[in-house]
């Protein structure tokens, strides 16, 4: 059984990081326009959850390429030595 590459292991962190960046931007915009910290934190939380779900749905919609299909087949049917 092969271990996933570093890129494969860090992929979920990249998606969470993108969602966090979007949420921070929304939180800062709300804080700058309303000057209410609590409202900004609420918008930050909602934006984080919504953007995380949206990014996850987009990543599920992407079709795997040939290399990913071969890797999935190999994982499902390991070759015996």
pLDDT of residue 64: 77
- Mean pLDDT, rounded, for 69-73: 82
Of 13, 45, 54, nearest to 26 by C-alpha is 45
- Does residue 16 have a pLDDT over 70? yes
pLDDT of residue 1: 56
Average pLDDT over all residues of the chain: 89
Q: Where are the domains of the chain?
A: 9-76
**For 35-55, how does the pLDDT look when each residue is reduced to its tens digit (9 = 90+)?**
999 999 999 999 999 999 999
Show Cβ contacts of residue 22 under 8 Å, excluding neighbours closer than 6 positions.
Answer: 47, 48, 51
d(CA 23, CA 41): 10
- The pTM for the full model equals 0.74
pLDDT of residue 80: 61
Of 56, 52, 26, 54, nearest to 41 by C-alpha is 26
Q: Which residue is listed with tokens 């749905």?
A: 57
């Amino acid at each position: 059984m092969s271990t996933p590459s570093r890129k494969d292991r860090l992929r979920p962190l990249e998606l969470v990081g993108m969602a966090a960046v979007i949420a921070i931007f929304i939180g800062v915009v709300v804080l700058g326009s309303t000057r209410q910290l609590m409202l900004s934190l609420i918008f930050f939380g909602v934006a984080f959850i919504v953007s995380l779900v949206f990014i996850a749905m987009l990543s599920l919609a992407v079709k795997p390429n040939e290399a990913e299909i071969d890797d999935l087949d190999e994982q499902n049917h390991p070759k015996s030595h």
